[in-house]
Amino acid sequence: MFSDQFVALALCVLSVLAAPSPLVPVTKTKDAIAGRYIVTFKDNVAQSDGVSSVTSGISLQSKITHEWNIINGFAGAFTDADLEVLRSNPNVESIQEDGRARTQATITQ
């Protein structure tokens, strides 16, 4: 039948393939809005498919608040537990804290 070496090699390969993928890091933002994040999908993921994969895994306490055509992603408000679900989603490329943007102009006469 199978040799012991073949079985050992097969078990090693399976353990590597079954290992969980690393969590996507959350990029920090100055003046972050607590619980709000901007999420982008990997290039090979269509936005509608990515949003479907995300919404099927999060609780009713979290919600997507914005979707754009200009970036392959969305923004939303998420609980800490749902943020971890997003971080482990294989379709997610990046997660960044949402924050306040300010403009400042200097006028001289």
* Res 14: pLDDT: 46
pLDDT tens digits, 55-102: 888 999 999 999 988 999 999 999 999 999 999 999 999 999 999 887
To the nearest whole number, what is the mean pLDDT of the chain?
83
In contact, 39 and 73? CB cutoff 8 Å: yes
Dihedral over alpha carbons 93, 23, 53, 48 (to 10 degrees): -10
Quote the CA–CA distance of 49 and 63 in Å, as a whole number: 16
> pLDDT higher for 8 or 67?
67
Residue 13, pLDDT score: 47
Delimit the domains of the chain by residue range: 23-99
The architecture of the domain spanning 23-99 is 2-Layer Sandwich (3.30)
pLDDT interval class at 8 (50, 70, 90): very low
**Portion of the chain with pLDDT greater than 90, in percent:** 53
Indicate if the pLDDT at residue 7 is higher than 80. no
> How confident is residue 12, by pLDDT bands cut at 50, 70 and 90?
very low
Token pair recorded at residue 105: 């102009």
